[in-house]
Every structure is written in structure tokens, then in C-alpha cells.
């Protein structure tokens, strides 16, 4: 193992390379500042490794250095992607890419830098005139017949971060084998290889015409426009949390027919500093505090929120005590799937060739709703690129009608091939309107779903283990769970173990082994007990964490019993956590 001094010497050597003429003066000045600082912490953090172009692209803290988001690490990613596109699509007379960016600091700079690099490689570029949501980028890739697309965003990460997500010709984030092949190409690129200055004639700016095409498609997501007309004055509070949803989501709500939209002026300010929140994440209660305060003030029916690149949505509604509560991601996905299937069934639009998709750690109630209504259902690994892959595989054979995951993402239509908070916010408002038309709130509608299909309670627990020893400990935890699974959980016998590392499901009670239909493997274990409890165990691919997802199944016979049933479920999940030493 290298000593601290050896690491520092290696870092200084790497940093010295950034003082050559390949790099601009501002970057060199920043590197000199770090080299001259007696405290080497920032220098080491910036250069101790290369920021990896992973299967989801780049994500990291902004600044100078090999482990930072800057025009050179972004440039290497774009040059590598350009090289791969020219290999894959060299037979085409023209290769095309679309570029979008969010509200984060340097997002515009990185997007314009990338546009110049693509153009320098002879690739036609369509770049949005200003910030746009991730789902609109996915749509534009398909609409313009592009071979690829990128968006500069770090999703809901803190303000110090930025990121780079790459898309393929179907508008989906890149999957195998292209993801690994692009990683290989990017790893070969040195700073001197990056072609920064391309022919500006190859760059076309996209504006309102693409917005209008996108919004026309978003309108087609509406299932019950007559309900919206009856409830068009539904009181909706919406916040973009300083991000890209600021124009497009209110426009989508109006396109559906809603007229009574309240904003949160302080959070309509587009800013990569995210001045009103600690974290711009709609999963977190603190991020929605201002919107909920506005909802209380105006007596709103629903609060809607989107993250900085407007792919995830948050939903808050009044509970039976009149207090606004945030639905978790499982509940949001459940409500969407229930409504889509139920309304299609009522209007005789279910033809028998429809399908829905969820990720394996998302609530099993979605599968139950699909199966009971004879809608095909698919389980995929975490990430919307896997949902999009199912759609691509079934193109022309079956009709996609919805898919979601527990981490606050939903995709209600396949003209976008990624999480879509624009369409989802508009559709969620329609669902609230439909519930109101039925004389109930969205909260009551959720409880009615539980009464019809069964109760479910979900929780997630992170276990953090830092450093090399932490990584080894996490690896050993997975080995222990795999070789010595718990026999009883929460008083119920273990029945099924699904090991996605080898894609085999084992019935512990009978010994029967069944193949799991997945194209690739993933380091995930799932335990199912006789009483329907599901526990998923998954090490994080990007952080020193191992994640435990708990889902407890049960029954609810009366809305008034919900709090008591939920409390018992929480107690049982807490007991299982203790059994697992968490």
C-alpha cells in the first residue's frame, strides 16, 4: 500500500502535467494555487484518481483536476463518445447528437464546450438555447433522429456537483454493450487529443419549436381530459426547486387544462446555488417545506415538485388529519400504475397487449395490480435505462403504458425513454382531479388501493462503511448473506432467495431452483418470506454504502385503520433490522 508521501508525490506529478500549454491559463492558475497551499487536502482530492466515465456517464465535484468536473474531463468524455459514434455509425452520411443542460453552475459552459468538440469531429449538433429538462432531451434525440445525446446535470446532488449523462439513438441512457465500449474509448483520451474548436455551421440551436413538439406529446399522456375540464380549477402548488422544470412543468399543467397553479417565487429563481434548500431533492421533506407552506396558505389540493433536471417528481397531499405528507416513491409509482390501468380498463382501452415495468426494489403491489388486470409485467434492475431496454425489445409487439421506481421516478409514455417529471406532474394532477371528481382526496385514493390490492409498507436503510476496509466489509456482508441467509425474518420463514449475481431464484423450503430472466447480472440479493415480506440487499456502485430495502405486505380493511396498520408494520421492519444487526 502506498504511503501518504508516495500518494502526495504521485498527485504532484499528475498536477504538474496540468501546467503544460495543453491547459488554459485559468486552470493552470488554480492548479498552482493548490500546489502552493501548505494544506494538500484539496490537491490530493482533485488529482488522486481520474473521474471515471461510468455506465451512467460522469458525476463529480466541479474544479480543476483529474477527479473533478471541468472542461477537460468533460472534453475527454465527449471526445471518447465522438470516437465511438464514428466507429458505430460511420456508414451514415451524417451523425447527429442533441445537447441539453440544467441549472447548475458551469452546465452551460460544459454543454457549449461539448458542442464544439462534437462539431470538431464532424458531428452535427443540436443544442438547446437555454436550460431544458432531461425528458425533453430524451424526446429530442428521438424526434431529430439523433444517434446520441448528452445532458449536463448532477440530478439532485448538492450544488458543488455537476454531471454528464449520455443517451443512445432510442433516447435511453446507454446500456450494454455500448456503455462499456464508450468507457473504453473515453479512457484512451488524453487532454492533447481533445478537439475543442469545431465548425459552428454544424451547430443548430433549439428553441420553442422543440418545446411545442414536446408539449404536444405530453398532452397525449392525459387519459381523462373530461375529468380535468370538470376540475380545471384544482389548486396545484408547484416548485422546480430552482431547476429546469420552472417553465415546462407549469406549461404542461396548462396544456392538460389546469388553470389554478400556484408557484413558490423564491424557488422559481433558476440557480445552481439552490439558495433556499440544503439539498434540491424532492425526496427530502426539507426541500418541499416552502411549497407545503404555500399549499397551506392557499388550501391547495396537491403539491408537486421536481428536481433540478426535472426527471424526478415529489408529491405531497393532505392526510386524514389535514396535514400535508409526502408520498414515498413506491406510493407515487403505485398510484400512477393503478390509475393508468384502471382508467384504460373503464374506457375499454385495455386490448391485452399492454405492459408495465418496475425495478426489482420497487413495491410488489405494482405486479399484483398488473397481474390481476391481465396486464403484462416486467421487473428490471435499478435504472430507467433498463425500463427503456424492455420497451426497445418489445417495440412493435406490445404497448408500454407505464413504469417506475421507488426513487421518485416515473415514465408514463415511451416518447421519452427516461424518468419524466414533466409528463408525470401533469398526469399526477389529473389523478388528483379524478380522485376529487370521485369525492375523495389522493390520500384516500391511496388507502383505497391498499384496501383493494393489499397493504404495503416500505423502508430503506443505508449502512456506510468507508475506506478499503469498509469495502471489504461490505463485500463480506454479501458473501455471508449469500452463503448463510437468515432462516426466519420477523417471525416468518424464509421461502425464496433471488440471487441476481447468478440470476437464480431458490425456494429454500423445496430446494427448487428457477432461472431469473435478466440479460445481465447484478450484485443484488432478495429474500422473500412466507408472509410476503421482501428484503433487497444491494451495495452502492458509487458510494461506500450497502442498501437494504424493506417491504412488508399486509391488509387494510378500513381507511380509519391505516395509522395503526402502518405503525405495526414499522415496528416489524424495525425488529427485522435488529435481527439483521442493522
Cite the active site residues: 155
Closest CA to 311 of 133, 462, 476: 133
DSSP state of 527: E
Residues 307 and 157: their CA atoms lie apart, in Å, by 10
**114, 168, 187, 540, 565 from 123: Cα distances, Å:** 11, 15, 21, 35, 58
Q: E strands, 119-248, where? A: 124-128, 148-152, 161-168, 203-206, 236-239
Are the C-beta atoms of residues 131 and 245 closer than 8 Å to each other? no
Residue 564, classed as helix, strand or coil, is helix
Cβ atoms < 10 Å from Cβ of 524: 21
Residues 542 and 108: their CA atoms lie apart, in Å, by 25
Cell of residue 496, nine digits: 425464496
Residues 108 and 128: their CA atoms lie apart, in Å, by 10
Residues 334 and 328: their CA atoms lie apart, in Å, by 10
Are the C-beta atoms of residues 526 and 360 closer than 8 Å to each other? yes
For residue 41, report the phi and psi dihedrals to the nearest 5 degrees.
Answer: -55, -50
CB crowding 304-331: b at 16 or more within 10 Å, else e: bbbbbbbbbbbbbbbbeeeebbbbbbbb
Residues 345 and 353: their CA atoms lie apart, in Å, by 13
**4, 168, 172, 245, 541 from 304: Cα distances, Å:** 49, 30, 25, 11, 30
Closest CA to 415 of 278, 245, 151, 219: 219
Amino acid at each position: 500500500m502506498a504511503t501518504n508521501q508516495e500518494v502526495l508525490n504521485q498527485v504532484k506529478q499528475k498536477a504538474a502535467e496540468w501546467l503544460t500549454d495543453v491547459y488554459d491559463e485559468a486552470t493552470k492558475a488554480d492548479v498552482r494555487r493548490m500546489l502552493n497551499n501548505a494544506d494538500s487536502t484539496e490537491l490530493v482530492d482533485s488529482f488522486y484518481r481520474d473521474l471515471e466515465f461510468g455506465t451512467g456517464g460522469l458525476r463529480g465535484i466541479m474544479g480543476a483536476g483529474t477527479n473533478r468536473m471541468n472542461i477537460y474531463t468533460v472534453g475527454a468524455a465527449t471526445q471518447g463518445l465522438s470516437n465511438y459514434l464514428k466507429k458505430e455509425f460511420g456508414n451514415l452520411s451524417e451523425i447527429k447528437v442533441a445537447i441539453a443542460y440544467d441549472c447548475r453552475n458551469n452546465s452551460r459552459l460544459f454543454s457549449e464546450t461539448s458542442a464544439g468538440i462534437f462539431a470538431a469531429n464532424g458531428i452535427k449538433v443540436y443544442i438547446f438555447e437555454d436550460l431544458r429538462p432531461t425528458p425533453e432531451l430524451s424526446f429530442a434525440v428521438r424526434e431529430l433522429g439523433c444517434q446520441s445525446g448528452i445532458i449536463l446535470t448532477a440530478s439532485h446532488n448538492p450544488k458543488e456537483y455537476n454531471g454528464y449523462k449520455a443517451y443512445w439513438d432510442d433516447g435511453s441512457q446507454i446500456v450494454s454493450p455500448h456503455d462499456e465500449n464508450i468507457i473504453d474509448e473515453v479512457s484512451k483520451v488524453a487532454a492533447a487529443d481533445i478537439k475543442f474548436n469545431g465548425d459552428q455551421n454544424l451547430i443548430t440551436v433549439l428553441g420553442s419549436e422543440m418545446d411545442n413538439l414536446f408539449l404536444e406529446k405530453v398532452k397525449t399522456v392525459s387519459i381523462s381530459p373530461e375529468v380535468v375540464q370538470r376540475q380545471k380549477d384544482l389548486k396545484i402548488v408547484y416548485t422546480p426547486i430552482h431547476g429546469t422544470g420552472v417553465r415546462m412543468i407549469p406549461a404542461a399543467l396548462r396544456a392538460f387544462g389546469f388553470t389554478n397553479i400556484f408557484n413558490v417565487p423564491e424557488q422559481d429563481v433558476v440557480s445552481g446555488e439552490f439558495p433556499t434548500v440544503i439539498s434540491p431533492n424532492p425526496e427530502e421533506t426539507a426541500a418541499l417545506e416552502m411549497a407545503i407552506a404555500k399549499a397551506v396558505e392557499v388550501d391547495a389540493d396537491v403539491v408537486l415538485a421536481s428536481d433540478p433536471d426535472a426527471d424526478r417528481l415529489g408529491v405531497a397531499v393532505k392526510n386524514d388529519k389535514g396535514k400535508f405528507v409526502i408520498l414515498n416513491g413506491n406510493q407515487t409509482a403505485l398510484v400512477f400504475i393503478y390509475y393508468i390501468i384502471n382508467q384504460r380498463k373503464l374506457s375499454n382501452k385495455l386490448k391485452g397487449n399492454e405492459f408495465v415495468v418496475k425495478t426489482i426494489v420497487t413495491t410488489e403491489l405494482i405486479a399484483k395490480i398488473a397481474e390481476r388486470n391481465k396486464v403484462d409485467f416486467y421487473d428490471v434492475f435499478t435504472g430507467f435505462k433498463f425500463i427503456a431496454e424492455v420497451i426497445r425489445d418489445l417495440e412493435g409487439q406490445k404497448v408500454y403504458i407505464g413504469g417506475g421506481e421507488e426513487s421518485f421516478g416515473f415514465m408514463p409514455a415511451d416518447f421519452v425513454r427516461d424518468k419524466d417529471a414533466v409528463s408525470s406532474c401533469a398526469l399526477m394532477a389529473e389523478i388528483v382531479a379524478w380522485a376529487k371528481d370521485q369525492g375523495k382526496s389522493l390520500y384516500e385514493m391511496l388507502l383505497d388501493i391498499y384496501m383493494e390490492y393489499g397493504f404495503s409498507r416500505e423502508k430503506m436503510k443505508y449502512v456506510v462503511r468507508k475506506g478499503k476496509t469498509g469495502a471489504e466489509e461490505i463485500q463480506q456482508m454479501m458473501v455471508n448473506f449469500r452463503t448463510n441467509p437468515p432462516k426466519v425474518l420477523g417471525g416468518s420463514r424464509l421461502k425464496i432467495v433471488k440471487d441476481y449475481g447468478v440470476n437464480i431464484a431458490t425456494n429454500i423450503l423445496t430446494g427448487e431452483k428457477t432461472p431469473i430472466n435478466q440479460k445481465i447480472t447484478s450484485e443484488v440479493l432478495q429474500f422473500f418470506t412466507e408472509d410476503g415480506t421482501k428484503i433487497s440487499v444491494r451495495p452502492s456502485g458509487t458510494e461506500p454504502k450497502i442498501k437494504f430495502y424493506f417491504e412488508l405486505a399486509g391488509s387494510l380493511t378500513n381507511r380509519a385503520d391505516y395509522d395503526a396498520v402502518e405503525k405495526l408494520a414499522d415496528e416489524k421492519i424495525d425488529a427485522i433490522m435488529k435481527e439483521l444487526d442493522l
